[in-house]
Amino acid sequence: MEDSTPILTIDGPSGSGKGTISRIVAQQLGWHYLDSGALYRAVAVAAGWADVDLADPSALVRCTFDTDIRFVDEPGHELKILVNGADATLELRTETAGAAASAIAAIPEVRSALVERQRRFAREPGLVTDGRDMGTVIFPNARYKVFLTASAKERAERRYKQLIDKGVSVTIDGLLREILARDARDSQRTVAPLRPAPDAAHVDTTGLSIQEVVEQVLSVVRS
Ligand SMILES: Nc1ncnc2c1ncn2[C@@H]1O[C@H](COP(=O)(O)OP(=O)(O)O)[C@@H](O)[C@H]1O
Ligand SMILES: Nc1ccn([C@H]2C[C@H](O)[C@@H](COP(=O)(O)OP(=O)(O)O)O2)c(=O)n1
């Protein structure tokens, strides 16, 4: 059965362009946007602030329920994320936060604690949402599903440029190693692993511009 609110899910590995493409597509369609990875990143960062042991599932679940996460989504501005009232946008985007998010995301109890929170984002006139399991687990009945990929080398180069532009000191080799480690952990975990939904349209973005990818994704919705 299809969800009554139109939903477009965009899943894929780190650096495939999910966040960038989802936000542009959501703006063009006039739909809401959920960055599900930001929820995992916010819980991981809040756990770090509170000295919660990342290996203690029940403490992490308490932290998941206790963490207040707000998105400030204004056209023309980067998506701002407030964690327990503090602007955590920059800290959330670091590879340290990404790796911690990937680690806690492998814990089934943490994933369960976030399911309803994610589903509540489905509101008229529609929702674009990106992550790893949006089309497989959170919104399996979504009307439109896309799986974005790109070569690991290109994803590392994109991340390098993005972080250097923000003044963060990184190397392409280091980022490539981190991306491959995260790909492996996200795809090999037993619960909600990164994989395309059987009914997802695949878009390989290697060598494509952002505009070309946006057009391909919009054509999935308009076809
Ligand atoms: N098709 C593309 N071509 C070139 N750069 C891209 C493309 N898609 C995304 N980017 C850039 O790559 C970086 C990572 O994209 P992002 O949307 O954060 O990926 P993800 O959410 O999948 O990790 C951003 O700086 C973004 O502007
Ligand atoms: N729906 C989701 C979203 C993210 N995660 C986990 C796994 C990812 O490595 C981390 C961070 O996700 P995020 O989408 O913010 O990361 P990238 O922008 O792709 O690098 O969170 C997840 O398990 N399920």
Ligand 2: centre distance to CA 35 (Å): 9
Q: Where are the beta strands (DSSP E) in 50-158?
A: 69-72, 80-83, 86-87, 127-131, 144-149
Ligand 2: centre distance to CA 131 (Å): 6
- Look up the ipTM and state it: 0.98
Ligand 2: centre distance to CA 136 (Å): 14
Ligand 1: centre distance to CA 59 (Å): 33
Residue 130's pLDDT band (cuts 50, 70, 90): very high
Q: Give me the pLDDT at residue 168, please.
A: 85
pLDDT tens-digit map of 5-47: 999 999 999 999 999 999 999 999 999 999 999 999 999 999 9
Q: Give me the pLDDT at residue 78, please.
A: 86
DSSP 8-state symbol, 80? E
Q: How far apart are CA 78 and CA 33, in angstroms?
A: 13
Cβ proximity of 219 and 163 under 8 Å: no
pLDDT tens-digit map of 6-16: 999 999 999 99
Across 208-212, average pLDDT: 98
- The reply to whether 102 sits in an annotated binding site is no
- The reply to whether 12 sits in an annotated binding site is yes
Q: Give me the pLDDT at residue 136, please.
A: 97
Closest CA to 106 of 4, 16, 192, 214: 192
Range 7-222 classified under CATH 3.40.50.300: yes
What is the residue-averaged pLDDT of the chain?
95
Q: Give me the pLDDT at residue 7, please.
A: 98
* Residue 138 tokens, joined: 């959170």
Cβ proximity of 129 and 118 under 8 Å: yes
Q: How far apart are CA 9 and CA 130, in angstroms?
A: 6
Residues lining ligand 1, CB < 6 A?
12, 14-20, 158-159, 162, 205, 208-210, 213
Atom of ligand 2 nearest to the CA of 16: 19
Q: Give me the pLDDT at residue 95, please.
A: 86
Across 196-218, average pLDDT: 98
pLDDT exceeds 70 at position 2? no
Cross-strand bridge partners of residue 10 = 130, 146
More confident residue, 168 or 57: 57
SS3 (DSSP) at 87: strand
Residue 211's pLDDT band (cuts 50, 70, 90): very high
Share of the chain above pLDDT 70, in %: 99
Atom of ligand 2 nearest to the CA of 105: 23
Q: Give me the pLDDT at residue 1, please.
A: 54
Q: Give me the pLDDT at residue 73, please.
A: 86
* Residue 185 tokens, joined: 């952990």
Phi, psi of 16 (to 5 degrees): -75, -10
Cβ proximity of 75 and 25 under 8 Å: no
pLDDT tens-digit map of 138-193: 999 999 999 999 999 999 999 999 989 988 889 999 999 999 999 999 999 999 99
